[in-house]
Amino acid sequence: MTGKLKNLDDLRRLRDETKRVMEDRMASETKIIVGMGTCGIAAGAREVMTAILEELDKRQLSVNVLQTGCIGMCQNEPLVDIVRPEQGRITYGRVTPQDVPRIVGQHVVNGQIVEDLVIGRTD
Residue 85 is a binding residue for other proteins (CB under 8 A): no
Find the shortest distance in angstroms from Cβ 12 to other proteins: 7
By C-beta, is 68 or 96 nearer to other proteins? 68
Strand residue runs (E) in 1-123 = 31-35, 64-68, 80-84, 88-92, 118-122
Identify which of 24, 44, 58 has the alpha carbon closest to the alpha carbon of residue 97: 44
CB atoms within 10 A of CB 91: 20
For other proteins, the closer of residues 11 and 61 by Cβ is 11
Q: Which residues bind other proteins (CB under 8 A)?
A: 1-8, 10-12, 14-15, 18-19, 21-22, 33, 35, 37-39, 41, 66-75, 79, 86-88, 90-91, 110, 112-113, 115, 118-123
